[in-house]
Amino acid sequence: MSSLEATRAELGLLVLYLNKAEARDKICRAIQYGSKFLSDGQPGTAQNVDKSTSLARKVFRLLKFVNDLHALISPVPQGTPLPLVLLGKSKNALLSTFLFLDQIVWLGRSGIYKNKERTELIGRISLYCWMGSSVCTTLAEIGELGRLSASMRKLEKELKNSDKYQNEQYRAKLQNSNERSLALIKAAMDIVVAVGLLQLAPKKVTPRVTGAFGFTTSLISCYQLLPSRPKAKTT
């Protein structure tokens, strides 16, 4: 492949990535929390960027609650333990509620909805829903990783006389384990972000800590949304 073709392919992947509304939202999220880290809650340019980006992101999420509402009423894979099913459905319900209430917050902060006190109350309720969904995600990922670890150990015993890394099924499980581990880290860090936004522990989770954790989880989200590269053709 020539350098021009390689550049064209890389730009094609970038265009594909940026065409995703979710990817643009997470890039804006990184800017938002990066600005929160820089401002440390103090007035100035960084805090203005934080607030304006936060408001702009709410537009990206208009009607997004439908996604989790659909997941809530969708069937789960057969064989999933009941506790994990309940955690998954709770996460969907809480996240859908958060995204729905977040639209009312946007209406209030943009001046369309005039009741400021109720807007702030709805905003706090929505953040509690988001924190609850992050807790459910954390617990669900821990449970799924436990199930995956058990199945990998079982497969290792079956493959004890061969190289397990040459086995396609084992490699798929290993990749799934890595992806779930990353999702677990992200969900656990998002709980800290929610605590910071709700000011539940203002002395420990300061705006700078909230910004640092939020920026990190934003980068993880950006990474998770990267399009897969096409496999090189062998001759």
pLDDT of 233 strictly over 60: no
> Which stretches within 164-206 are classed as H helix?
168-198
Helices (H), the chain: 3-18, 21-39, 45-60, 65-73, 82-109, 116-158, 168-198, 207-224
Paired tokens of 199: 């000011």
pTM of the model: 0.90
pLDDT of 60 higher than 60: yes
Rounded Cα–Cα distance for residues 109 and 122 (Å): 12
- Residue 16 has what pLDDT? 84
Model confidence at 235, pLDDT cuts 50, 70, 90, reads: very low
Taking CA atoms, 156 is separated from 115, 149, 160, 164, 205, in Å, by: 60, 10, 6, 7, 42
CA distance 97 to 100: 5
Ramachandran angles phi, psi of 204, nearest 5°:
-95, -45
User: Over 80: is that where the pLDDT of 71 sits?
Assistant: yes
Confidence of residue 229 (pLDDT cuts 50, 70, 90): low
Dist. CA 4–CA 2, nearest whole Å: 5
Q: How confident is the model at residue 110 (pLDDT cuts 50, 70, 90)?
A: confident
Find the mean pLDDT for residues 2-18. 82
Q: Is the pLDDT of residue 137 over 80?
A: yes
Residue 69 class from Cβ within 10 Å (0-12 exposed, 13-18 middle, 19+ buried)?
middle
Q: Which token pair is 206?
A: 């300061």
Neighbours of 155 (CB within 10 A): 15
Provide mean pLDDT across the span 211-219.
97
How far apart are alpha carbons 38 and 210 in whole angstroms? Answer: 11
Over range 196-210, report the average pLDDT.
95
Radius of gyration of the chain (CA): 21
Ramachandran class of 109: left when φ > 0, alpha when ψ lies in -120 to 50, beta otherwise: alpha
Indicate the range of 10-19, 77-86, 113-122 predicted with least confidence.
10-19
Fill in the amino acid letter for 216: T
Give the pLDDT of residue 234: 43
The pLDDT of residue 188: 97
Length of the chain, please?
A: 235
Mean pLDDT of the chain: 91
Question: Residue 206 pLDDT > 70, yes or no?
Answer: yes
Q: Which helix (H) or strand (E) holds 9?
A: helix 3-18
Model pLDDT for residues 27-56, shown as the tens digit of each residue? 999 999 999 999 999 999 999 999 999 998
| Residue 71 vs residues 51, 117, 130: alpha-carbon distances, Å | 30, 32, 16
Look up residue 145 and give its two tokens: 């990783």
